[in-house]
Amino acid sequence: MIPVELPPKPDPNSGEPRPPAAPLAPGKRGPRPRWRRKMVPHPPANESPPLEWWYYNARGLLWGAAAVLALAIGVLTLRDWSKGRDVLTWANSWLVWLLIGGLALLMTLSARGEKFSAGADWFMHGEDFIKTYELVSIVGERRWNGTHLELTDQHGHHKEIDLRGLQLNPALWDLVYNGILHSVANGARVNDIAIEELQLHEIVEMRDRPPGP
């Protein structure tokens, strides 16, 4: 293993210096929601305070439901068009509308439980806690709804998370990503999908390069 120059770990209390901007996948982001103690996950008592957080507010839920409806309508319209039917044939079925509405409601209700927070060296999703600078495994997996990360730290904490969810608040993602960089430099296992999605090629190459003569 060779030394790799990385951005410093922020101070646990002040959060300074903040990490540089981490790479982001395409997608919609919004402003950080206001502080609400009941909505922001809090770490164990001996850990540093939250520096960044994210949770879905009413506006975000409405936008999410609208996006699901728009996607479903677009898919059904395209299907009818490809089969030579009138593009709104599907709209005559009350069962289809019921299914679309149910899908939007289901996804909206599931999003209500999405709560994230991050400190200088930790991340929480709901009640799940993980030390971001002490990761031993970073595994990426591509699924129908996007890329998911499986993070495991040296204390046995394990978390599986949607990468897009992690990036809804870019400042929170910056904190988590800096911890991932340090963990990879320190020897954390990382698979090819995670390397590609998180743009870790250079740091993995530098870490694994045999020492020179």
Write the pLDDT tens digit of every residue in 149-172: 999 999 999 999 989 889 989 999
Write the pLDDT tens digit of every residue in 37-46: 788 999 999 9
Question: For a pLDDT cut of 90, what percent of the chain falls above it?
Answer: 51
Distances (CA, A) of 57 to 19, 111, 183: 26, 10, 32
Write the pLDDT tens digit of every residue in 73-127: 777 777 767 776 765 666 777 777 777 766 656 655 554 557 899 999 999 998 9
Identify the pLDDT of residue 68.
Answer: 64
Q: Strand 115-118's sheet: what is its strand order? A: 52-55, 115-118, 122-125, 128-131
Residue 131 scores a pLDDT above 60: yes
- Confidence at 2, pLDDT banded by 50, 70, 90: very low
Q: Is the dihedral of CA 72, 78, 83, 86 positive or negative?
A: positive
Work out the mean pLDDT of the chain and round it to a whole number.
83
Considering 69-83, 119-133, 197-211, the range whose residues carry the highest mean pLDDT is 119-133
Write the pLDDT tens digit of every residue in 166-189: 998 999 999 999 999 999 999 999
Orientation angle between helical segments 201-208 and 170-185, nearest 10 degrees: 20
Distances (CA, A) of 191 to 141, 175, 195: 9, 21, 6
Provide the token pair at 70.
């728009």
Look at 57 and 181; give whichever has higher pLDDT: 181
Predicted structure pTM score: 0.75
